[in-house]
Amino acid sequence: MKNIHKQAFAMPLTNPSYPKGPYRFIDREFLTITYRTDMDALRRVVPEPLEIPEAIVKYEFIRMPDSTGFGDYTESGQVIPVTFNGVAGGYVHSMYLNDEAPIAGGREIWGFPKKLADPALRVEKDTLIGTLNIGSVRVATGTMGYKHRTLDPDKILKSLQAPSYLLKIIPHVDCSPRICELVRYYMTDITVKGAWEGPAGLELHSHALAPVAELPVVEVLSAFHILTDLTLGLGDVVHDYLDRAS
């Protein structure tokens, strides 16, 4: 086979696990529960040069029923509010989902910390319920009163437009890091179709391979439920950990 570099996009060469982006999401649904945690625990997991303004974590359950190239899947994980060069954003610390294509694409393109699991987001009578199971083990349960109060969509739009950060790590064939970068990305073309808040609860349980409880829940601060259309933009590298001059 000639000119492999012209054909190569993703693994496997002749049948990639996902198509090229950008990726559009229709009716993407979030349950996001914001909680206070331990600052020392955050310092152990947030890479420099990101800075931590306060001991806060956002735990997310996300339903994605219609996404370009990735199909229908659900995701759950933790985002830590940070600043980079004085600009507020979010560091994506953990992500667990139930679809191979976005796991492969997310890890290879941006460096999303995606792992295979069984998350869910559903309405049960008057309660919005998010769960995360690893096999038969329950790792996280989030609950919120269903659509108790409507939120200002402009405030939600502004929060979704903030930058997010990822630590992208790709190993060399000898298991040393071939790529080790801080990646920034944005969500674009956002339409907020609905936004609500309500009383919320969050339980995190210890698991060896899904250590979400290592950022413990000290106090639940707030929760929101939103329905959106948006595009996941491609990223840019803002810090290269393998560049000695950086």
Residue pLDDT, tens place only, 48-84:
999 999 999 999 999 999 999 999 999 999 999 999 9
Asked whether the predicted pLDDT for residue 245 surpasses 80, the reply is no
**Domain assignment of residue 3, yes or no:** no
**Domain assignment of residue 2, yes or no:** no
**Domain assignment of residue 246, yes or no:** no
**Domain assignment of residue 182, yes or no:** yes
Any bridge partners for residue 113, and if so which?
A: none
**What CATH number corresponds to the domain at position 74?**
2.40.400.10
* Mean per-residue pLDDT, 164-170: 98
Asked whether the predicted pLDDT for residue 130 surpasses 80, the reply is yes
- Distances in Å between the Cα of 96 and the Cα atoms of 3, 56, 58, 75, 195 are 36, 20, 14, 6, 24
The residues annotated as belonging to the active site are: 114
DSSP structure class, residue 106:
I
**Domain assignment of residue 25, yes or no:** yes
* Cα 224 to the center of its chain, rounded Å: 16
pLDDT band at 244 (very low <50, low <70, confident <90, very high): low
| Percentage of the chain lying above the pLDDT 90 cut | 93
Question: pLDDT tens digits, residue range 179-234?
Answer: 999 999 999 999 999 999 999 999 999 999 999 999 999 999 999 999 999 999 99
Give the residue with greater pLDDT, 194 vs 3: 194
Return the number of other C-beta atoms located less than 10 Å from residue 189's C-beta. Answer: 12
pLDDT band at 24 (very low <50, low <70, confident <90, very high): very high
User: Which of 97, 141, 99, 136 lies closest to 118, judged by CA?
Assistant: 97
Q: Which domain holds residue 89?
A: 20-240
Give the residue with greater pLDDT, 8 vs 235: 235
**Domain assignment of residue 63, yes or no:** yes
Measure the CA–CA gap between 222 and 36, rounded to whole angstroms.
Answer: 10
Count of structural domains within the chain:
1
pLDDT band at 5 (very low <50, low <70, confident <90, very high): confident
What φ, ψ does residue 22 adopt, rounded to 5°?
-75, 170
User: What does the pLDDT read at residue 3?
Assistant: 81
Measure the CA–CA gap between 172 and 76, rounded to whole angstroms.
Answer: 29
User: What does the pLDDT read at residue 55?
Assistant: 98
Question: pLDDT tens digits, residue range 95-109?
Answer: 999 999 999 999 999
Residues 6+ apart with CB under 8 A from 112: 92, 95, 106, 166
